């Protein structure tokens, strides 16, 4: 295997793991939605229970979709993996800005935010390591 092609192994493996994690998140947000809502999201289901669970479930569907796409990319197009890892935190940052512009303060005490910080940090660090290694390979 060429040295340049070998550098994609790390990011494709990370993307595969991120994809599997998204599948778990998708499962929890859709098939075990009440448990996820009360345990991780700490939602007050006494108000608009059905609406909150529907929104959480819809988010779970997108987690299943992204999980499957990440797994597919990581296996079939390893060269795209570092770019996908870079796009993930950018997309979340754009969403965060959109929430701020809409006047929503994300100061909730749900446990999932700590997990998401680690998730996003993993993407950023893996992407950074890739581009650093790629720069070294070209020298």
Question: Per residue in 53-110, pLDDT tens?
Answer: 988 889 899 999 999 999 999 999 999 999 999 999 999 999 989 988 998 876 666 6
pTM metric for this prediction: 0.86
CB distance 56 to 41 below 8 Å? yes
pLDDT for 95-105, tens place per residue? 989 988 998 87
CB atoms under 10 Å from CB of 81, counted, come to 26
Give DSSP secondary structure letters for the chain: --HHHHTHHHHHHHHHHHHHHHHHHHHHHHTTHHHHHHHTS---TTSSHHHHHHHHHHHHHHHHHHHHHHHHHHHH-GGGHHHHHHHHHHHHHHHHHHHHHTT-------THHHHHHHHHHHHHHHHHHHHHHHHHHH-
Range(s) of the domain holding residue 52: 3-138
**What pLDDT score was predicted for residue 52?**
82
Confidence class for position 3, pLDDT limits 50, 70, 90: low
> For 96, phi and psi rounded to 5 degrees?
-65, -45
CB atoms under 10 Å from CB of 127, counted, come to 21
Q: CA-based Rg of the chain, rounded to a whole angstrom? A: 17
pLDDT reading at 113 higher than 90: no
**What pLDDT score was predicted for residue 75?**
96
CA separation for the pair 133, 139 (Å, rounded): 10
Q: What integer is the mean pLDDT of 112-123?
A: 88
Q: Please state the domain count of the chain.
A: 1
For residue 2, give both structure tokens. Answer: 């060429």
CA separation for the pair 10, 16 (Å, rounded): 10
């Amino acid at each position: 295997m060429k040295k340049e092609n070998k550098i994609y192994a790390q990011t494709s493996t990370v993307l595969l793991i991120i994809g599997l994690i998204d599948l778990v998140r998708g499962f929890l947000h859709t098939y075990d939605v009440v448990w996820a809502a009360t345990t991780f999201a700490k939602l007050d289901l006494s108000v608009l229970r059905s609406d909150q669970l529907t929104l959480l479930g819809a988010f779970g569907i997108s987690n299943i979709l992204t999980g499957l796409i990440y797994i597919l990319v990581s296996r079939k197009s390893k060269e795209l993996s570092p770019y996908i890892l870079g796009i993930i935190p950018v997309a979340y940052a754009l969403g965060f800005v959109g929430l701020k512009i809409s006047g929503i303060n994300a100061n909730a005490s749900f446990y999932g935010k700590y997990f998401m910080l680690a998730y996003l940090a993993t993407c950023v660090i893996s992407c950074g390591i890739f581009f650093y290694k790629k720069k070294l390979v070209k020298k």
